[in-house]
Amino acid sequence: MSHAFQSLFAERLTAFVSQKRTLGWSYNGSEAMLARFDRFCLEQYPALDTLTSEICLAWAVRRETEGNNSFRNRIATVREFAKHLNRIGEQSFIIPAKFAKKGARPIPYVYSEEEIANIWREFDIIKPRKGYPVRHFVAPAFVRLLYCCGLRPCEARKLMVDDVNLVTGKLYIRESKGCKDRIVMMAGDVLEYFVQYNNKVSKAMPGRKQFFPSSTDTVCEYRWIRYEFRKIREKLVLQQASSNPPRLYDFRYPHLN
């Protein structure tokens, strides 16, 4: 992935991303975030070529629809860019860490085996849609991978076809928590399921790059899978462990029953 930055920070943004990749990070997600920052600078501060407090504090305004983690990630990427500029001798404003504090960690919901089976059954009857012929394959496979391999939703979404070895069962997770890559192995029955999944999706979308593709073979949108899950959650009347309702993220935690 390579973005053509256009603001007065373009050359320095490109050099920063290149440095990260030289150090071994794929940096795709962070590069996409920097592309958003670049557009922000181009539109709001087209004449400024110094990373000032005015730019950074305007960027650090939390949006009404923005979750805490999304806000933190957006701030952290620009903080890292500012630190890079200071290291190379260019005085730049670093957004204070207090702007993006971690929120309280929600209590995870522990699913029973019966609940998992019921959830999968409901995902398996999702219908395809015009313009998105693999929708009914992607959703059930996505939730199974979260549960069976303990992946975070963001990790599963960003999987490329080349990241999934359907011979050995090895998953290569890029830019996981802390910008670290990691390897996860699929069990035999899970591997068999995903071999079949891949065959079905490849038949409908030959030559795709994303393992869980959108209708245009970009990273699949999490919001529609989450929306389907919410409908299933309400239908099955899943009980809440706290004030937070059961989440797809909670599939990462092993069941106790």
CATH of the domain at 163: 1.10.443.10
Is residue 131 located within the same domain as residue 84?
no
Look at residue 145 in the predicted model and tell me its pLDDT.
Answer: 94
Look at residue 175 in the predicted model and tell me its pLDDT.
Answer: 67
Q: Check if the beta carbon of residue 214 is closer than 8 Å to that of residue 222.
A: no
Is residue 139 located within the same domain as residue 18?
no
Record the pTM: 0.65
CB atoms within 10 A of CB 154: 17
Domain-terminating residue out of 69, 100, 131? 100
Number of structural domains (the chain) is: 2
Is residue 135 located within the same domain as residue 232?
yes
Look at residue 89 in the predicted model and tell me its pLDDT.
Answer: 95
Token pair for residue 199?
A: 């065959």
**Segments forming the whole domain that contains residue 74:** 10-100
* Contacts of the segment 95-101: beta carbons below 8 A, 24+ positions apart: 95/56, 95/57, 95/59, 95/60, 99/60, 99/75, 100/60, 100/71, 100/72, 100/75, 100/76, 101/72
Per run of 10 residues, the mean pLDDT along the chain (length 257 residues) is 85 93 76 93 96 95 81 90 95 87 73 90 91 94 93 89 95 73 91 97 95 90 89 84 75 61
234 domain residue, yes or no: yes
Domain-terminating residue out of 44, 72, 100? 100
Is residue 248 located within the same domain as residue 123?
yes
